[in-house]
């Protein structure tokens, strides 16, 4: 039995240089993983920057969208909406893009008798799709105010954001 123990001890001693190299290997792998982790942890900030840029572009486009209605600007509306733009009103499907543009051109260049602004805008970007929710506030030239809840869906096509879906729903009346 003592010969067996001596044999095992001898093997252990022969293996000792390998055992001492294991911590160096672990240290090397640890440093490599640490470097990779730092590289990986930088990726979300790059993604966040891209999402932030997209959010900024979407906010600008939504501001233009509201201005097209306030200023009766069919040319800009045509550029910032997709050809297959779908409109849903509180009572059901709305007019097509072609009908909206044609109606605006009939009234152009006279601006409408109201202004439009948004309240409580929230922008969520999911890759090449963005969802914007807000309260759309109409104020007539006589001072009356009407509000609708809005949801717009935008897609990024060929590097440009465009509105492809708009839904308006009635907002509960507010007390003066």
Domain segments of the chain as ranges: 2-170
- Rounded to 5 degrees, φ, ψ at 37 are -60, -40
One pLDDT digit (tens) per residue for the chain, 176 residues: 445 444 444 444 444 444 444 444 444 444 444 444 444 444 557 777 877 899 999 999 999 999 999 899 999 999 999 999 999 999 999 999 999 999 999 987 777 788 899 999 999 999 999 999 999 999 998 889 999 999 999 999 999 999 999 999 987 766 65
User: What dotted CATH number matches 2-170?
Assistant: 3.10.450.50
Q: Record the pTM.
A: 0.70
User: Which residues, other chains included, contact 72 with Cβ-Cβ below 8 Å and sequence gap of 6+?
Assistant: 104, 107, 108, 109, 110, 111, 112
155 three-state secondary structure: strand
Helix segments in the chain, DSSP class H:
2-70, 74-80, 97-107
């Amino acid at each position: 039995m003592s010969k067996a123990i001596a044999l095992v001890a001898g093997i252990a001693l022969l293996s000792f240089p390998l055992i001492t190299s294991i911590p160096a290997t672990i240290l090397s792998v640890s440093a490599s993983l640490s470097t990779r982790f730092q590289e990986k942890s930088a990726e979300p900030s790059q993604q966040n920057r891209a999402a932030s840029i997209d959010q900024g572009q979407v906010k600008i486009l939504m501001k233009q969208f509201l201005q097209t209605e306030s200023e009766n600007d069919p040319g800009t509306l045509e550029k910032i909406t997709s050809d297959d733009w779908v409109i849903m009103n509180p009572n059901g499907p709305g007019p097509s893009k072609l009908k909206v543009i044609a109606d605006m051109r009939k009234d152009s260049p006279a601006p409408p008798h109201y202004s439009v602004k948004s309240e409580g805008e929230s922008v969520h970007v999911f890759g090449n799709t963005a969802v914007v929710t807000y309260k759309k506030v109409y104020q007539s030239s006589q001072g009356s105010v009407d509000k609708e809840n809005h949801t717009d869906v935008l897609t990024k096509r060929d590097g440009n954001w465009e509105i492809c879906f708009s839904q308006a729903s009635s907002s509960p009346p507010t007390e003066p």
